[in-house]
């Protein structure tokens, strides 16, 4: 992340202070959301497979 900050600073980009989320925060939140979707998908698959294996004889 420090490399990205240096690159943006060297190219003349200036932030707007604390007016909003930083790029790093947005990326971290997006990665957490993707990971959460993966966990939900995995749990759903496991529960569905387990439910399908139940016999009602």
DSSP labels, 1-57:
-HHHHHHHHHTT----TTSS--HHHHHHHHHHHHHHHHHHHHHHHHHHHHHHT----
Report residue 57's pLDDT band, with 50, 70 and 90 as the boundaries.
confident
Contact (Cβ atoms closer than 8 angstroms) between residue 1 and residue 24: yes
Q: What is the per-residue pLDDT across 22-40, written as a single tens digit (0 to 9) for each?
A: 888 889 999 999 999 999 9
CA angle 32, 19, 3 (to 5 degrees): 60
């Amino acid at each position: 992340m420090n490399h990205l900050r240096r690159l943006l600073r060297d190219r003349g980009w200036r932030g707007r202070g604390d007016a909003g989320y930083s790029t790093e925060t947005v990326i971290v939140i997006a990665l957490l959301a993707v990971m959460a979707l993966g966990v939900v998908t995995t749990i759903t698959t496991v529960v569905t497979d387990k439910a399908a294996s139940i016999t009602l004889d």
